[in-house]
């Protein structure tokens, strides 16, 4: 081969080498460009992933919980030139990021590491300005609650990965998750945001005025058993649930159980009347305290005379209630009745924060006596409200719900629901609750323009240990129903350790502290709910069933108005 031929061959070979080198460099550049794009383009966009959690609305369509798109910073350690330097640079521009901890995550190897989740637009711009290889972004969702703490214990909250951790968010987590069903409809609750706002403001005002440790308020539609409002105080902002204390996250309406004191006399009187052994025309001797074994039962500011059954209820006589309970069969009638009302069982509800009632294992006469006036048994405010709805509503036991009920579904549920009391007992209880507001301990629960029925309750607070009760602290409560002649709504408020003030003459009982809370709610919620004002003829019919006569108060030795039932609902 000549020198010229060999030179040509060498030149041709060099051209091939240069060509393949150029192709190789281009392939490398394309590959690294793809990797850089993958690191800087939000993963949710590139992969076409649409994460979605259904929004939550109230019964009128007002938004209670929704989602916003968020951006998180991620890293691919294998693409980083200097992971340690990258960690230091990122920590300078991202609030809350520790350089050493971040470098440790990078050092674990792998192709993925979280840098910071849910960053602000300013932080995104700062990261982009750094221009670090191997650093990118990922799209995600963040749950937001536009009403803040107003319905915190109903809605609950989610974790950083949008998984439900409390309240409806947890209880109905599967229904709220989008997953493959991206067309899943939003969730409509039974809650009415207007009523929730009213109840929250009134309860908060009550807590502030009476310096209570906490409170619970429930507004229940008696007809449908839909919960229109539920307030538990103290509360928290579900947008920042991580900042809330465990005390603030407690749902006092569903997860706590209380001895509700004389509030329980609604149940005991219903049981006695339903037994057929006690009549609304009966009278009971309350002249002296009642002794059962070594225990003595007294009345608070008792009248120390014979009391008609309406007086026993309206004056909230412990002595009269115990005698009435024993006249109706004692524990043999009492226990099955409470069980039928669901007061021995854990409530069924769409939130996980529920607790089984605390019930005595043994049931001697003293337990039967104390349970009749609300001591020795602890139930949640929710359960008691359900019981009241059964006793003064349709007589059926039907659990409450946080979801809107379809009318057809409601009819089917009521057809299958067990009957607790008869229409006769229902009418008698409605009248007795009206009488309690009209002439008894519940006067502060009255509302001008509405026919309201109610019952007060005050119980020494249980200490949770063998010492029994703290005589310095009480649980005060009031349940109101309206309109009293055909109750559509029940409102219960419970105050934990309220203190009396000058306007209550120092009294901290339910009639002085909890009743004004319920009165304020009914006064504001009634017009919103379209409840008509009381008709004079209905109020007159209630009054006509009352027989008033002068009697001697055995404690004060002064004459007072006594009353009894005239011709009632027989």
Give CA–CA dist 481/489, Å, rounded: 6
The percentage of the chain sitting over the pLDDT mark of 70, rounded to a whole number, equals 88
Model pLDDT, residue 467: 57
pLDDT of 91-142, one tens digit each?
999 999 999 999 999 998 789 999 998 898 899 999 999 999 999 999 888 8
pLDDT of 491-547, one tens digit each?
999 999 999 999 999 999 999 999 999 999 999 999 999 999 999 999 999 999 999
Choose the final residue of a domain: 117, 144, 171: 144
**107 and 253 assigned to the same domain:** no
Model pLDDT, residue 393: 97
The DSSP secondary structure of 316-376, one letter per residue, reads: T-HHHHHHHHHHTTTHHHHHHHHHHTTTTSPPP-SSS-----EE-SS--HHHHHHHHTT-S
- 109 backbone dihedrals φ, ψ, rounded to 5°: 85, -165
Residues in the chain: 570
Closest CA to 131 of 40, 44, 33: 40
Q: Calculate the CA dihedral of residues 36, 38, 39, 42 and round it to 10 degrees.
A: 140
Whether 541 is covered by a domain: the verdict is yes
| Domain CATH number, residue 341 | 3.40.710.10
Closest CA to 189 of 308, 65, 339, 324: 65
Model pLDDT, residue 15: 39
Three-state helix/strand/coil letters over 126-156: HHHHHCCCCEEEEEEEEEECCCHHHHHHHHC
Choose the final residue of a domain: 103, 120, 144: 144
pLDDT of 173-215, one tens digit each?
999 986 444 566 899 999 999 999 999 999 999 999 999 999 9
**361 and 439 assigned to the same domain:** yes
Closest CA to 299 of 472, 458, 470: 458
- pTM, two decimal places: 0.85
Mean pLDDT of 453-471: 80
pLDDT of 42 above 70: no
pLDDT band of residue 62 (cuts 50, 70, 90) is: very high
Choose the final residue of a domain: 127, 144, 161: 144
**206 and 133 assigned to the same domain:** no
**364 and 478 assigned to the same domain:** yes
Mean pLDDT over each residue of the chain, to the nearest integer: 89
Three-state DSSP class for 179? coil
Model pLDDT, residue 341: 96
Whether 170 is covered by a domain: the verdict is no
Which DSSP symbol is given to 454? E
**84 and 210 assigned to the same domain:** no
Mean pLDDT of 228-243: 96
pLDDT of 19 above 80: no
**312 and 248 assigned to the same domain:** yes
User: Which residues have a Cβ under 8 Å from the Cβ of 214 and sit 6 or more positions away?
Assistant: 207, 232, 233, 234, 252, 495, 496, 497
Give CA–CA dist 156/117, Å, rounded: 21
List, by residue number, the catalytic residues: 262
Model pLDDT, residue 185: 82
pLDDT of 29 above 90: no
- DSSP H helical ranges for 142-295: 152-155, 167-171, 173-176, 193-210, 246-249, 265-275
Give CA–CA dist 34/353, Å, rounded: 49
Burial level of 84, CB count in 10 A (0-12/13-18/19+)? middle
Domain count, the chain: 2
Domain that residue 258 falls in: 194-565
- 297 backbone dihedrals φ, ψ, rounded to 5°: -110, 130
| Domain CATH number, residue 124 | 3.90.1310.10
Three-state DSSP class for 474? strand
Model pLDDT, residue 290: 95
pLDDT of 37 above 80: no
Closest CA to 77 of 119, 114, 128, 123: 114
**101 and 211 assigned to the same domain:** no
């Amino acid at each position: 081969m000549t020198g010229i031929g060999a030179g040509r061959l060498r030149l041709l070979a060099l051209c091939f080498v240069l060509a393949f080198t150029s192709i190789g460099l281009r392939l490398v550049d394309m590959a690294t460009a793809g990797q850089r794009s993958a690191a800087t383009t939000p993963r949710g966009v590139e992969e076409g992933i649409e994460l979605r959690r259904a929004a939550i609305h109230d019964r009128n369509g007002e938004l209670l919980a929704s989602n916003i798109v968020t951006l998180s910073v991620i890293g691919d350690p294998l693409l980083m030139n200097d992971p340690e330097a990258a960690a230091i640079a990122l920590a300078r521009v991202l609030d809350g990021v520790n350089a050493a901890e971040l470098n440790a995550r990078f050092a674990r190897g792998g192709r993925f590491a979280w840098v910071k989740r849910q960053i602000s637009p300013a932080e995104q711009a700062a990261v982009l300005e750094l221009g670090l290889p191997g650093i990118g972004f990922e799209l995600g969702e963040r749950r937001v609650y536009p009403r803040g703490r107003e319905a915190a214990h109903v809605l609950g909250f989610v974790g950083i990965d949008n998984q439900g951790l409390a309240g409806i968010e947890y209880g109905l987590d599967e229904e709220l998750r989008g997953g493959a069903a991206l067309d899943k409809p939003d969730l409509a609750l039974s809650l009415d945001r207007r009523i929730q706002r009213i109840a929250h403001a009134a309860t908060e005002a009550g807590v502030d005025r009476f310096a209570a440790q906490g409170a619970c308020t429930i507004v229940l539609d008696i007809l449908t058993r839909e919960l229109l409002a539920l307030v538990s105080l103290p509360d928290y902002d579900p947008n920042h649930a991580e900042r809330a204390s465990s005390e603030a996250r407690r749902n006092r309406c569903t997860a706590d159980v209380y001895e509700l004191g004389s509030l329980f006399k609604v149940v005991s009187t219903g049981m006695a009347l339903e037994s057929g052994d006690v009549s609304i025309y009966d009278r009971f001797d309350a002249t002296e305290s009642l002794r059962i074994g070594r225990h003595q039962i007294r009345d608070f500011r008792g009248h120390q005379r014979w009391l008609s059954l309406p007086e026993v209820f309206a004056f909230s006589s412990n002595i009269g209630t115990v005698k009435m309970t024993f006249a109706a069969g004692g524990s043999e009638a009492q226990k099955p009745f409470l069980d039928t009302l669901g007061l021995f069982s854990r409530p069924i509800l769409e939130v996980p924060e529920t607790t089984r009632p605390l019930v005595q294992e043994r049931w001697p006469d003293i337990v039967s006596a104390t349970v009749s006036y609300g001591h020795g048994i602890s139930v949640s405010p929710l359960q008691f409200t359900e019981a009241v709805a059964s006793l003064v509503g349709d007589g059926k036991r039907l659990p409450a719900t946080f979801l809107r009920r379809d009318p057809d579904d409601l009819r089917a549920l009521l057809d299958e629901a067990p009957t607790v009391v008869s229409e006769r007992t229902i009418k008698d209880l409605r009248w007795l609750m009206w009488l309690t507001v009209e002439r008894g301990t519940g006067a502060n629960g009255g509302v001008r323009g509405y026919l309201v029925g109610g019952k007060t309750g005050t119980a020494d607070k249980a200490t949770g240990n063998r010492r029994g009760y703290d005589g310095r602290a009480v649980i005060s409560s009031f349940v109101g129903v309206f309109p009293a002649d055909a109750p559509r709504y029940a409102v219960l408020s419970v105050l934990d350790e309220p203190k009396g003030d000058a306007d209550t003459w120092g009294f901290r009982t339910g009639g002085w502290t909890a009743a004004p809370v319920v009165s304020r709610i009914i006064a504001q919620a009634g017009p919103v709910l379209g409840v008509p004002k009381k008709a004079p003829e209905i109020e007159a019919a209630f009054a006509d069933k009352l027989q008033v006569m002068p009697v001697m108060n055995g404690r004060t030795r002064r004459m007072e108005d006594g009353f009894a039932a005239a011709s009632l609902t027989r």
